[in-house]
Amino acid sequence: MRTIVKYISACICLTLLGKWSSSQIAAGDNSIVYSTNGVTTVSDTNRLFVVSNIIIEGNDKTKPAIILRELPFQLGEEYALGTIVQKFKTAKKQLMNTGLFRNVIVSLQNIDDHDVNIKVDVEEKWYVWPMVFIKPVDESFNQWWSDKNRDMTRVNYGIRLTHNNITGRNDRLRLSVMNGYTRQFSLQYYGLKLDPQLKWSTNAGVSFSQNREVNYMTLRNKQIALKDRTFLHSTIGGFVHFNYRPKIKTTHTFGVGFNYESIADTISKLNPSFSKGQGIMRYPELFYQVKYVDVDYIVYPTKGFMGEAYIKRRGVGPDSHMDLWEVTARALQSWPMDSKYFFTLSGLATLKLPFSQPYVGKGFIGYDGRFIQGYERYIIDGVAGGYAKASITRPLYTVHLHLPSHAQALRNIPIKLYAKTFVNAGYVYNNTPGENTLTNKFLYSGGFGLDIVTYNDFVIKIEWSINRLGENGLYLHQRNDF
């Protein structure tokens, strides 16, 4: 009799599993998620089931081991049905955050007594992106447009080749060749796997660049540059990183690098405190970073937390051309406010030691993607400080561009639009501020904007903001704040 009851129950469950609906446990009833695109209904959520099979489909390029590494369940593990449901959502989030897929569906394929078969269906992105580019040399587009009067001689051109999954193991190749105002060649490779468990990987890169212009000081919150027909600054550098990712959400990175810089003597004459080394700078770099990611979509988080902290040492020994310790921490948290809005709070803090840094060691706001909204036209140097940003965002709608293409990944390109309002606050300490009036002062700003998130993790931000000086303007960003 028990066998007949089990058989009938299994048939009913298999029938109900074919119905798609929402992807969360509904409050007040016994709806259970069986797919990241669907639900069904059963009454027993505490019965234990064994994961007997994991079926992966759609991975034409990506190796199965890379997908299995992101799953919060493995073959032979035993869970209650409600726990499996929650792990489906985690699995989809983790797979989407690899940057390899346009869409992921994780579902129960069938139930056989105490065994469950799980299906992971992925839709891969287009991984190879050769790109011809023309871009200004200034730190931001706004600086080139407003401060440099759209000077076309301050433009670089070249080609950039990006392969985001070169061997199918989520490894990335970056090749860039640039000419014009700056000559540059760089070759970088990320994600070479070192062990069968995929816990260890390595990154490596080399670069060479020559610049006809050098920003040798900051005066009244603007960079002052020396320009010449010959190259004033040449750099050769390289790095090797080792990454350790014992779990899904946390990654430790240990790195070592070396830099060789040649600077024209004229720079030292114009600013004797430009650098510790006169003419030639040679210094090693040691680096450690820990990063934690638990967000719904790493490119544009609407829910969850992500953060990182790193410590960097440039130069070794009292006679080194650099003597810099830098500690930086930054974090971002997003909370859904209701079905229409989400609130995001992010921040960054940095400390550089010793405080008596040369000019090249004091870069803070306006460098390496660090900015306070409303102050994009300014450079703020310092050795300690940070900023916080808060925003309320609402998704507007999603547009799908249907393009004729032989490649499945390029036929349907989604474009998501978000409206937001934001406020910023920050402070940068500089022990030798000179005539730079934005250091050692409380900085604040606010505004609103439109964010555009499109194919292959590309984010465009159009923002209007006003700062403490009463200045307002429209600014364009092409990267995420984190």
- 37 Rama sector, left if φ>0, alpha if ψ -120 to 50, beta otherwise: alpha
92 with 154, same domain: the answer is no
Q: Give the residue from 123, 146, 175 where a domain finishes.
A: 123
Domain range enclosing 423: 128-477
**Is 415 part of any domain?**
yes
**Is 394 part of any domain?**
yes
33 with 158, same domain: the answer is no
373 with 429, same domain: the answer is yes
Q: In this model, does residue 141 exceed pLDDT 70?
A: no
pLDDT of residue 38: 60
**Is 482 part of any domain?**
no
C-alpha angle with apex 186: 185 to 192, nearest 5 degrees?
160
Exposure string over 333-342, b if 16+ CB within 10 A, otherwise e:
bbeeeeeeeb
Q: What is the DSSP letter of 267?
A: H
pLDDT band at 21 (very low <50, low <70, confident <90, very high): very low
The set of residues, in sequence order, having a beta carbon less than 8 Å from that of 354 and lying 6+ positions away, is 323, 325
* pLDDT tens sequence across 42-94: 445 578 899 999 999 999 999 999 999 999 999 999 999 889 989 999 999 99
90 with 140, same domain: the answer is no
- Sequence-distant contacts of 39-42: CB under 8 A, at least 24 apart: 40/13, 40/16, 41/16, 42/13, 42/16, 42/81
Q: What is the DSSP letter of 12?
A: H
| Segment holding 93, helix H or strand E | helix 81-96
pLDDT of residue 43: 46
* pLDDT tens sequence across 227-259: 888 889 999 999 999 999 999 999 999 999 999
* pLDDT tens sequence across 369-382: 899 999 999 999 99
Across the chain, what does the average pLDDT equal?
86
Residue 298 to residue 93: CA distance in whole angstroms: 9
225 with 340, same domain: the answer is yes
Q: Give the residue from 123, 141, 165 where a domain finishes.
A: 123
pLDDT band at 36 (very low <50, low <70, confident <90, very high): confident
**Is 412 part of any domain?**
yes
Is 344:332 a contact under the CB 8 Å cutoff?
Answer: yes
Q: Give the residue from 123, 158, 183 where a domain finishes.
A: 123
What residue type is assigned to position 54 of the chain? I
112 with 135, same domain: the answer is no
The reply to whether omega before 354 is within 30° of 0 (cis) is yes
Q: In this model, does residue 419 exceed pLDDT 60?
A: yes
**Is 55 part of any domain?**
yes
pTM of the full structure: 0.85
**Is 275 part of any domain?**
yes
Residue 57 structure tokens: 């489909």
Q: 383 in helix, strand or coil?
A: coil
Of residues 90 and 338, the one with the higher pLDDT is: 90
What average pLDDT does this structure show over 472-480?
85
Domain count, the chain: 2
Q: Is the dihedral of CA 193, 199, 200, 206 positive or negative?
A: positive
pLDDT band at 20 (very low <50, low <70, confident <90, very high): very low
89 with 163, same domain: the answer is no
Of 162, 172, 195, 161, nearest to 62 (Cα)? 172
pLDDT of residue 252: 98
